[in-house]
Amino acid sequence: MSRPRRERRSVVAVEEVGPYSLVRLERGTLDPGTPGQFFMLEAPRRPLPRALSLCLAPPRELAFLVDPVGPGTRALCALEPGDRIHVFGPLGRGFRLDVAHPVLVGGGIGIAPLPYLSEALERPPAVLGFRSDHHAEAAALVPNAEVVIEPVLVTDVLPRDREVLACGPEPMLEAVRERAPNAQLAWEAPMACGYGACYGCVVEIDGELKRLCLEGPVLCRS
């Protein structure tokens, strides 16, 4: 696994994707890492950086899909080309790529790591769930995707006999895990540091507290 680095990088572009923003940064010497790994992005004028999984790794760029839900993510979406922010990563454990018949499952902003993952797995089928047509515009980032809109859920159309790699809200991950106990699931928690320093990002999974930034964000039972 490559050693994470922290560098100041320029914003190349910020593109609207439905209600989300795709923040494209100049890559510099940062390693994009494994799909599912994340980076800490400096959120302008906020005390703490934000943890975001890599969405796409075009040549010489790193791109992150951001949902402007709070002051930090709004500040990231308001970045303009030429602005410079600190970027630290890649961090955490990503998806295992040794899967024979994968299906990618994503819900809402949880689709963020799937475009990069899809590329690494040579565009396997995907099932994506959104709460509205507007949110579902982000599905264009993931090839070979079947899209469902609430009240239809991804678990309603999840194919059998495939290895599941999923990212999305906690209830979705729990529901996916009931159907596919050995699924690789990317979880989410508020993080202060991203590198195991603060013990802030623990999540309780199967009765055990796990530091998501080190043991995750992708966790798997098997």
Instruction: Give residues in contact with another protein (CB under 8 A).
Output: 6, 40, 42, 46-49, 71-72, 86, 88, 189-193, 195-204, 209, 214
Token reading at 124:
């396997």
CB 109 within 8 A of CB 67: yes
Cα 180 from Cα 3, distance rounded (Å): 32
* Cβ nearer to another protein, comparing 11 with 189: 189
Positive/negative CA dihedral, 58, 62, 68, 74? negative
Cα 110 from Cα 60, distance rounded (Å): 24
Q: Which of 112, 98, 94, 119 is nearest to 34 (CA)?
A: 94
Could you list the beta-strand ranges (E) of the chain. Answer: 5-17, 20-26, 38-41, 50-53, 61-66, 84-91, 102-107, 126-130, 145-149, 163-167, 184-186, 202-205, 208-211, 218-219
CB of 86 to another protein, least distance (A): 7
* Cβ nearer to another protein, comparing 9 with 162: 9
Cα 137 from Cα 61, distance rounded (Å): 22
